[in-house]
C-alpha cells in the first residue's frame, strides 16, 4: 500500500487517489495549432526508472491534483505539492 | 494405536483443563495449551495422513507452520476447512477434524496398496500434461487424478462465519515474539514508541518455548514477556500472522479467533485481516529447521529434531522411547540431552568430526550413545519407523532399532517477509543457508533470521535494532540496557553441508508434494536447470507449506548436479502470503451486496414500493421496468415505450452526472472543453455538447444549461460522471490555474426526473399550475429556475427520447414528494413511471449515442457529430482530430440497422459482414444497441460499420457465432423517429 502525503489531508493510502502519470511535461498552451506539439505531449513518455514526478488526485479527500515525487524503481515516495501552486522553493 | 505418550508432569499445558475433540468420529482428549498435533501425538497417533501422489503413510514432521504432512480437514458443513496443519491448530473443546487423502481410510488405504498411479505421477507429469504436445491427455486423466491424488476437499456451502477488516497504524512493528523480537519490542517501547508485536503462536517466546519448564531459558522467557507486558505502549497480537509486507511499509496481518469459538450471531469474527501501516519494521521471524534426505525418510516417527524437543518440553509428550538423533549441526544436541533427561534412550549421529564445545562430554554423561562422522542411509518400518540404517562414509551399514528419529539438516532463516520488500537473499557459507540481503531504510532484522544462533547475541541484536527502529521514527528516550541470558546455551558450531547417502528407498525432499531426489535428477536430465524451472517441473515447493523445510535441500541437490555453488543456485521468489489464509478473511465483509457501495436515487424506496424491478447500472440501482407494464422485461419495456410515444411517462434520471460550473471564466472554460461554442449561450438556455479526449476520441456528451452569467449546470452520462469531473479539475488545477472557475459535483444534491411524451406539457401544467410552459416562455432547450413554496425547482426542456420532454430537478430531499406530486396530478392523463430499459430503447430509436457507442475509440465524424465542431474557436482535441488515420476511409461509424427476417433476432455484439464477405475474422463492424421499435414494429439496432452511412440501404449479414446465428439486416439512418425534430419542438 503506497502511502501518499497530501498537503491538505496528510499521509493517506494510495487507494484514495487517482493516478494520471507524468507531471514533468508542460501541456501546450490552449489554442496551440502545432499538431506535432500535441502529438508529443499526448503520446510520448519518458517512463524513467528512478526518481519521477507524477500527477495524483486526492479523489476521496480534498480532490486536489498533486505533483508527487516517486521513485519508480523502489516505489519510495518523496515530497508532494499542489499542482495549482507549483513546486515549493 | 499405542499407549499414551504424555509424560506425567511438565509442559505448558493445563492438566486441570481437559478438552474433548473428535478425530475421524473418535472422541479424544487433550489439554488446554495443546496443539492438535501434540494432542494426537500424546494419544499415540502417529499416522496423520497419506501422501499426495504415492499415498505413503505419513506422520508429523514439525511442530510449527512449516509442517508438510499433518494436514487435516477441520469443521463440518460451511465451516469445513481442508489442509490445515495440525501443528498450528490450538486445541479447543469440541474441535472436529478428519484425516484426509486416504480411501477408505487413512489407516487402511487401498490406493497405497495398488499404487497404480505412481508411475504416471513422476516428475514433470503435471508440467508436461499442461504444457506439452500431450496437453489433451489432461482431459482424459483429470477425473482419475483428482480422485486419487490431491489433498483435502472444500465444500460449496456458504460459510456461516463472520470475518472482519481492520485498519491500524504503529510506530514500530516487531514481527515475531522470540527472544530477539521480545528484546526489540522491549527496547522500542522503552524508548517511547508505539509498538505492535505480532506473534503467530498463541504463546510468546518463540524458540524459548521449547526449553524445559524451570530451565534458565524458561525463566528468561517469563522475564521478557513480563517486561513487554508492563509497557502500556505495546500492543501484543497473538495468533496473528504477518502474511506479507507491501509498499509504504504496509503489512497484512491475519488474526485468528478460532480458539474462542466465535459466534457470528453475536457479531464475533472468526478471523480479522488487519492492514497495518508501520513507520519501522523489525523482522524477528526466526528460522526453520531443515530435514535430512535419505532413503524412506518419510516414515512416521521421522521428525525434525527441534520438533521432538518442542513436543517433549512444551507439550510433555515423549514421541518415542528409543530415539536416534541425526544432525549436521549443534542444535539437535539439545534435543538429545533433553530426551536423555526424560529417560528416553538416545543414539546421536553427527555427520561432523566434532561438535561444539563440551557437547559430546555432556551427552555421554547423560547416557547418550554418540557417534561422529556417520550419516543416515535409510529408515526402516512402514506405518511407523522401527529403526535406521547408518554408515560411516564408505563404511559398512549398521542398524539401530528405534521408534523416533530426530533429524536436523541445519536452519533456514525465515526471510519470506524481508524478500517481499525486495531484499534479495544471499548465501551464507558459515551458516550453510540463505540470509536476508540489505534492508530498505526503516527495516531491521535480529536473531535467527540474520543467521544468529547464539541466544545472547540474539537478545543483543534485538535490543539494538529495537532502539535503532525507535530512533528512525524519532523517539528520544533511552531504551535502557539489553536483557542478558542467565546461562549461555551451547553456541552454534558451524554446520557442515549435509552429506547425502545413496541409500535404498525413496529419499524425499518435498514431503507434501512427494518430490524425491530422483525427481530432481530427472529434471536435471531433461534440462530444467534453474531453481525456478525445477520448481515448475517437479512441483517442488508448490504445496500449501511452500517448501519451508525443503527448498534449500532441493537447491543444494540441483547445485550439486550442475557443479555450481549454492549462491549461484539461488532461491525461488518468495511471495505473499507467508502461510495460507482463508478467502473469507481476505473478503471480510465485502461480499454479496457489500462487495462494493451501492448508489440509490432519492426516489429509490418509492420505486420498490410501486412495482419497480431494479437493475444495476454501474454502482447505481435503477428501475429496470415497472410491473404495471408487464411481468417480464421483454413485454414491459415495449409497453412503457408506447406510453411515452403516445401519452406521457416519467422516469428517474437522478443518476446523471451533474456538475456546477461557476465563476467569471466559466463560459470561457466550457468553450475550451466542448467542441461546440458555449461562450455565447444565452442565460435561460441549454445546449447539447460533446467533449473530446486530448487524442480526439469522444469522451462524453451531455447538456449544459446557463442559469446566469457566471453559473452553468452541466450534465454528463451516468457512466462517465466521475471521469468528467476529474478531467475538469485536472484542467483547472494543472493546465489553466489562471481561469477563475470552480467546479463542484452536485449529482447527489439534485433529484432528477424526466417527463416525456406528447402530453408532457399538459402533465406538468396540472402539477405546477403557476408555471408558464408555453413555447414562447419555455422553448425547446429553454431552462427555468423558480421557487415553489421555498423549494428551488429547475426545469430544462430537453429530450432524450425524441418526444416533447422536460427534465425537472429539485433538491434530493424533495425528490420523492415532487415525483409523487407529478404522478398524482397527472393521473387523469394516464401518466405512469417508465424504467431504464424503455429509456434506453427510446434513445436508440431516436439515434442518440450513449455509453455503448462511446467506446473511447470513435471520433466525432465516426458518430455523425462532425458538424458540431466549431470552426471559429479552439477546443480540446482539435489538433489531433486531424491525424491522418482518423481521416482515412474505412473507419467504423454509426449506422442504424433494421432486421429483415421477422422471426429472427438482432443481438448486441453481433459481428457485421457485407453479403459478399467470407464470414470470418472481425468483420466490418458490430451491433452496439438493440431494441424493438414501437414506431416501425420491428427490431432495430445501432451499430458501428465500416464507412457506415455510405452503405445506407445496403443489405448486410449479422453473425452471432455464440448462437450459430446469421441474420439479414439493412443499413438505415440511425434516426428512426421524427428525424426533423418536430416532436421535441411541439
Ligand atoms: Zn487531500
Cell numbers standing for residue B260: 474462542
Max mean pLDDT range (A26-35, B123-132, B545-554): A26-35
Quick one: pLDDT at residue B73?
94
Which among A65, A75, A77 is the nearest to B734, CB-wise? A65
- The residues with which B350 forms a beta bridge, in sequence order, are B327, B372
Predicted ipTM of the assembly: 0.98
Percentage of residues in chain B with pLDDT exceeding 90? 81
pLDDT in tens, B441-451: 999 999 999 99
On the question of pLDDT at B264 being above 70, the answer is yes
Quick one: pLDDT at residue B53?
80
Mean pLDDT is lowest, of A22-36, B123-137, B350-364, for: B123-137
pLDDT in tens, B487-502: 655 555 556 666 565 5
For residues A14, A15, A17 and A19, what is the CA-based torsion angle, rounded to 10 degrees? 80
In whole angstroms, give the CA distance from residue B882 to residue B764.
46
Quick one: pLDDT at residue B2?
47
Which among B248, B736, B883 is the nearest to A30, CB-wise? B736
Residue/partner pairs of B775-780 with CB below 8 Å, 24 or more apart: B775/B985, B775/B986, B779/B985, B780/B984, B780/B985
Number of Cβ atoms within 10 Å of the Cβ of B567: 13
In three-state secondary structure terms, A30 is coil
Query: Average of pLDDT values for B834-851?
Result: 95
Query: Average of pLDDT values for B563-567?
Result: 91
Cell numbers standing for residue B49: 495422513
Query: Average of pLDDT values for B793-820?
Result: 97
- Asked if the bond preceding B104 is cis, omega within 30° of 0, the reply is yes
Query: Average of pLDDT values for B350-356?
Result: 90
In whole angstroms, give the CA distance from residue B930 to residue B244.
48
Cell numbers standing for residue B274: 488487519
In whole angstroms, give the CA distance from residue B965 to residue B943.
17
Query: Average of pLDDT values for B853-859?
Result: 92
Distance from the Cα of A51 to chain B's closest Cα (Å) equals: 16
Cα of B733 from ligand 1 centre, angstroms: 14
Which among B246, B722, B880 is the nearest to A38, CB-wise? B880
In whole angstroms, give the CA distance from residue B45 to residue B319.
10
> For testing the chain B interface, which of A30, A53, A70, A73 should be mutated: the one with the most B CBs within 10 Å?
A30
Percentage of residues in chain A with pLDDT exceeding 70? 100
Cα of A23 from ligand 1 centre, angstroms: 18
Quick one: pLDDT at residue B4?
84
Quick one: pLDDT at residue A89?
83
Per-residue CA distances from B774 to B275, B762, B815, B913 (Å): 61, 10, 25, 48
Contact B378, B295 (CB under 8 A): yes
**Residue pointed to by grid coordinates 452503405:** B951
Distance from the Cα of B124 to chain A's closest Cα (Å) equals: 36
In whole angstroms, give the CA distance from residue B424 to residue B571.
9
Report chain B residues whose CB lies below 8 A from the CB of A59. 722, 726
pLDDT in tens, B419-469: 999 899 999 988 889 999 999 999 999 999 999 989 999 999 999 999 999
Quick one: pLDDT at residue B282?
98
Cα of A86 from ligand 1 centre, angstroms: 16
Contact B947, B956 (CB under 8 A): no
* Pairing of the two strands B369-372 and B345-350: parallel
The C-alpha angle with vertex B835 and arms to B829 and B839, in degrees rounded to 5, equals 90
Confidence label for B132 from pLDDT (cuts 50, 70 and 90) = low
Percentage of residues in chain A with pLDDT exceeding 90? 92
Residue/partner pairs of B628-634 with CB below 8 Å, 24 or more apart: B628/B832, B628/B833, B629/B832, B629/B834, B633/B837
Quick one: pLDDT at residue B109?
64
Quick one: pLDDT at residue B112?
59
Instruction: Extract the runs of DSSP E, i.e. beta strands, from B709-862.
Output: 711-716, 742-745, 750-756, 783-788, 791-796, 805-811, 832-833
Quick one: pLDDT at residue B141?
56
Cα of B852 from ligand 1 centre, angstroms: 34
Contact B538, B515 (CB under 8 A): yes
pLDDT in tens, B50-84: 888 888 999 999 999 999 999 999 999 999 999 99
Report chain A residues whose CB lies below 8 A from the CB of B694. 38, 41-42
Cα of B726 from ligand 1 centre, angstroms: 14
In whole angstroms, give the CA distance from residue B757 to residue B345.
97
Quick one: pLDDT at residue B211?
95
Instruction: Determine the residue of chain B that is closest to A71 in CA distance.
Output: B247
CB spacing of A35 vs B246 below 8 angstroms:
no
pLDDT in tens, B764-787: 999 999 899 999 999 999 999 999
CA-based end-to-end distance of chain A = 29
Query: Average of pLDDT values for B503-528?
Result: 89
Quick one: pLDDT at residue B488?
59
Contact B847, B975 (CB under 8 A): yes
Contact B197, B465 (CB under 8 A): no
On the question of pLDDT at B681 being above 90, the answer is yes
- Give the B-side interface with A, CB within 8 Å: 246-250, 275, 277, 422, 440, 672, 694-695, 722, 726, 729-730, 733-737, 874, 879-880, 882-883
Cell numbers standing for residue B117: 498411479
- The residues with which B674 forms a beta bridge, in sequence order, are B691
Report chain A residues whose CB lies below 8 A from the CB of B273. none
* Pairing of the two strands B345-350 and B322-327: parallel
Confidence label for B15 from pLDDT (cuts 50, 70 and 90) = very high
Cα of B208 from ligand 1 centre, angstroms: 47
Q: What domains can be seen in chain A, in order of their start residue? A: 3-85 (3.30.2270.10)
In three-state secondary structure terms, B784 is strand
> For testing the chain A interface, which of B722, B879, B881, B884 should be mutated: the one with the most A CBs within 10 Å?
B879
Cell numbers standing for residue B367: 547416557
Report the mean per-residue pLDDT for chain B. Answer: 92
The C-alpha angle with vertex B461 and arms to B458 and B465, in degrees rounded to 5, equals 140
On the question of pLDDT at B110 being above 90, the answer is no
B917 vs B150 pLDDT, higher one:
B917
Confidence label for B961 from pLDDT (cuts 50, 70 and 90) = very high
Quick one: pLDDT at residue B486?
63
On the question of pLDDT at B1 being above 80, the answer is no
Percentage of residues in chain B with pLDDT exceeding 70? 93
On the question of pLDDT at B792 being above 50, the answer is yes
Amino acid at each position: 500500500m503506497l502511502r501518499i502525503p497530501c498537503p491538505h489531508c496528510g499521509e493517506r493510502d494510495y487507494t484514495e487517489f487517482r493516478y494520471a502519470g507524468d507531471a514533468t511535461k508542460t501541456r501546450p498552451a490552449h489554442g496551440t495549432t502545432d499538431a506535432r506539439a500535441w502529438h508529443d505531449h499526448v503520446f510520448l513518455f519518458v517512463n524513467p526508472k528512478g526518481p519521477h514526478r507524477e500527477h495524483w488526485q486526492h479523489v476521496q479527500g480534498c480532490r486536489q491534483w498533486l505533483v508527487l515525487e516517486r521513485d519508480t524503481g523502489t516505489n519510495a515516495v518523496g515530497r508532494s505539492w499542489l499542482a495549482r501552486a507549483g513546486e515549493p522553493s | 494405536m499405542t499407549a499414551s505418550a504424555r509424560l506425567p508432569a511438565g509442559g505448558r499445558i493445563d492438566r486441570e483443563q481437559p478438552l474433548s475433540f473428535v478425530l475421524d468420529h473418535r472422541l479424544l482428549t487433550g489439554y488446554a495449551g495443546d496443539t492438535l498435533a501434540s494432542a494426537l501425538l500424546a494419544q499415540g497417533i502417529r499416522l496423520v495422513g497419506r501422501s499426495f501422489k504415492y499415498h505413503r503413510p505419513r506422520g508429523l514432521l514439525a511442530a510449527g507452520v512449516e509442517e508438510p504432512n499433518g494436514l487435516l480437514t477441520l469443521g463440518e458443513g460451511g465451516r469445513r476447512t481442508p489442509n490445515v496443519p495440525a501443528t498450528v491448530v490450538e486445541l479447543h473443546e469440541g474441535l472436529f477434524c478428519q484425516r484426509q487423502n486416504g480411501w477408505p481410510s487413512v489407516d487402511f488405504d487401498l490406493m497405497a496398496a495398488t499404487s497404480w498411479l505412481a508411475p504416471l505421477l513422476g516428475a514433470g507429469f503435471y508440467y508436461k500434461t499442461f504444457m506439452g504436445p500431450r496437453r489433451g491427455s489432461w482431459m482424459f486423466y483429470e477425473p482419475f487424478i483428482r480422485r486419487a491424488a490431491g489433498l483435502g476437499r472444500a465444500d460449496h456451502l456458504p460459510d456461516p462465519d463472520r470475518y472482519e477488516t481492520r485498519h491500524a497504524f504503529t510506530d514500530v512493528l516487531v514481527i515475531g515474539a522470540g527472544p530477539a523480537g521480545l528484546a526489540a519490542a522491549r527496547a522500542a517501547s522503552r524508548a517511547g514508541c508505539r509498538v505492535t508485536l505480532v506473534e503467530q503462536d498463541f504463546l510468546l517466546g518463540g524458540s524459548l518455548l521449547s526449553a524445559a519448564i524451570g530451565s534458565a531459558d524458561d525463566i528468561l522467557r517469563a522475564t521478557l514477556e513480563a517486561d513487554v507486558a508492563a509497557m502500556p505502549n505495546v500492543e501484543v497480537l497473538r495468533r496473528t500472522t504477518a502474511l506479507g509486507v507491501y509498499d509504504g511499509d504496509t503489512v497484512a496481518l491475519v488474526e485468528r479467533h478460532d480458539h474462542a469459538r466465535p459466534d457470528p450471531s453475536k457479531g464475533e469474527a472468526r478471523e480479522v485481516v488487519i492492514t497495518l501501516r508501520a513507520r519501522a519494521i523489525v523482522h524477528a521471524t526466526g528460522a526453520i529447521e531443515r530435514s535430512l534426505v535419505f532413503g524412506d525418510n518419510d516414515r512416521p516417527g521421522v521428525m525434525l529434531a527441534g520438533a521432538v524437543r518442542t513436543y517433549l518440553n512444551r507439550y510433555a509428550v515423549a514421541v518415542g522411547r528409543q530415539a536416534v538423533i541425526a544432525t549436521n549441526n549443534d542444535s539437535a544436541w539439545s534435543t538429545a540431552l533433553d530426551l536423555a533427561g526424560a529417560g528416553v534412550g538416545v543414539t546421536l549421529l553427527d555427520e561432523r568430526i566434532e561438535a561444539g564445545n563440551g557437547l559430546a562430554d555432556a551427552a555421554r554423561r547423560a547416557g547418550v550413545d554418540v557417534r561422529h562422522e556417520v550419516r543416515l542411509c535409510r529408515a526402516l518400518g512402514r506405518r511407523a519407523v522401527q529403526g535406521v540404517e547408518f554408515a560411516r562414509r564408505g563404511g559398512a551399514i549398521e542398524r539401530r532399532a528405534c521408534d523416533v528419529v530426530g533429524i536436523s539438516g541445519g536452519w533456514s532463516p525465515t526471510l519470506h517477509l524481508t524478500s517481499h520488500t525486495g531484499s534479495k537473499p544471499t548465501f551464507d557459507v558459515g551458516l550453510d543457508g540463505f540470509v536476508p540481503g540489505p534492508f530498505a531504510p526503516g527495516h531491521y532484522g535480529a536473531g535467527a533470521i540474520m543467521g544468529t544462533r547464539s541466544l545472547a547475541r540474539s537478545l543483543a541484536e534485538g535490543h539494538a535494532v529495537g532502539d535503532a527502529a525507535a530512533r528512525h521514527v524519532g523517539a528520544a528516550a533511552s531504551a535502557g540496557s539489553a536483557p542478558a541470558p542467565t546461562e549461555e546455551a551451547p553456541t552454534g558450531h558451524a554446520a557442515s553441508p549435509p552429506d547425502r547417502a545413496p541409500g535404498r528407498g525413496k529419499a524425499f525432499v518435498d514431503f507434501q508434494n512427494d518430490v524425491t531426489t530422483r525427481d530432481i535428477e530427472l529434471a536435471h536430465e531433461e534440462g530444467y536447470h534453474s531453481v525456478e524451472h525445477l520448481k515448475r517441473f517437479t512441483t517442488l515447493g508448490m504445496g500449501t507449506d511452500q517448501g519451508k523445510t525443503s527448498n534449500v535441500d532441493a537447491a543444494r541437490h540441483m547445485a550439486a548436479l550442475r557443479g555450481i555453488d549454492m549462491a549461484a543456485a539461488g532461491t525461488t521468489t518468495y511471495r505473499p502470503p507467508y502461510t495460507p489464509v482463508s478467502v473469507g478473511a481476505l473478503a471480510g465483509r465485502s461480499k454479496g451486496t457489500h462487495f462494493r457501495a451501492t448508489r440509490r436515487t432519492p426516489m429509490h424506496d418509492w420505486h420498490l414500493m410501486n412495482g419497480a424491478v431494479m437493475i444495476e447500472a454501474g454502482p447505481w440501482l435503477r428501475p429496470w421496468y415497472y410491473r404495471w407494464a408487464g411481468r417480464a422485461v421483454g413485454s414491459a419495456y415495449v409497453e412503457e415505450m408506447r406510453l411515452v410515444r403516445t401519452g406521457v411517462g416519467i422516469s428517474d434520471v437522478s443518476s446523471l452526472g451533474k456538475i456546477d460550473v461557476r465563476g467569471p471564466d466559466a463560459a470561457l472554460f466550457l468553450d475550451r472543453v466542448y467542441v461546440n461554442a458555449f461562450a455565447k449561450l444565452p442565460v435561460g438556455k441549454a445546449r447539447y455538447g460533446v467533449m473530446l479526449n486530448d487524442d480526439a476520441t469522444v469522451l462524453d456528451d451531455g447538456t449544459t444549461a446557463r442559469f446566469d452569467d457566471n453559473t452553468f449546470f452541466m450534465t454528463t452520462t451516468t457512466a462517465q460522471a466521475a471521469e468528467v469531473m476529474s478531467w475538469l479539475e485536472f484542467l483547472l488545477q494543472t493546465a489553466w490555474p489562471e481561469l477563475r472557475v470552480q467546479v463542484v459535483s452536485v449529482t447527489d444534491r439534485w433529484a432528477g426526473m424526466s417527463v416525456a411524451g406528447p402530453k408532457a406539457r399538459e402533465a406538468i401544467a396540472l402539477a405546477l399550475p403557476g408555471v408558464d410552459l408555453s413555447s414562447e416562455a419555455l422553448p425547446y432547450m429553454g431552462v427555468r429556475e423558480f421557487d415553489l413554496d421555498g423549494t428551488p425547482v429547475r426545469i430544462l426542456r430537453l429530450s432524450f427520447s425524441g418526444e416533447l420532454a422536460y427534465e425537472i430537478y429539485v433538491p434530493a430531499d424533495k425528490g420523492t414528494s415532487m415525483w409523487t406530486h407529478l404522478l398524482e396530478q397527472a393521473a387523469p392523463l394516464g401518466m405512469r413511471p417508465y424504467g431504464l430499459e424503455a429509456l434506453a430503447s427510446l434513445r436508440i430509436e431516436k439515434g442518440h449515442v450513449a455509453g455503448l457507442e462511446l467506446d473511447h475509440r470513435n471520433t466525432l465524424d465516426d458518430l455523425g457529430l462532425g458538424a458540431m465542431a466549431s470552426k471559429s474557436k479552439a477546443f480540446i482535441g482539435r489538433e489531433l482530430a486531424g491525424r491522418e488515420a482518423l481521416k482515412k476511409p474505412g473507419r467504423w461509424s454509426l449506422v442504424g440497422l433494421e432486421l429483415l427476417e421477422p422471426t429472427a433476432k438482432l443481438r448486441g455484439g453481433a459481428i457485421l459482414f457485407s453479403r459478399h464477405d467470407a464470414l470470418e475474422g472481425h468483420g466490418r463492424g458490430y451491433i452496439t444497441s438493440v431494441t424493438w421499435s414501437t414506431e416501425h414494429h420491428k427490431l432495430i439496432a445501432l451499430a458501428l460499420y465500416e464507412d457506415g452511412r455510405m452503405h445506407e440501404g445496403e443489405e448486410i449479414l449479422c453473425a452471432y457465432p455464440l448462437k450459430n446465428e446469421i441474420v439479414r439486416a439493412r443499413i438505415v439512418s440511425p434516426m428512426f423517429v421524427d428525424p426533423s425534430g418536430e416532436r421535441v419542438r411541439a
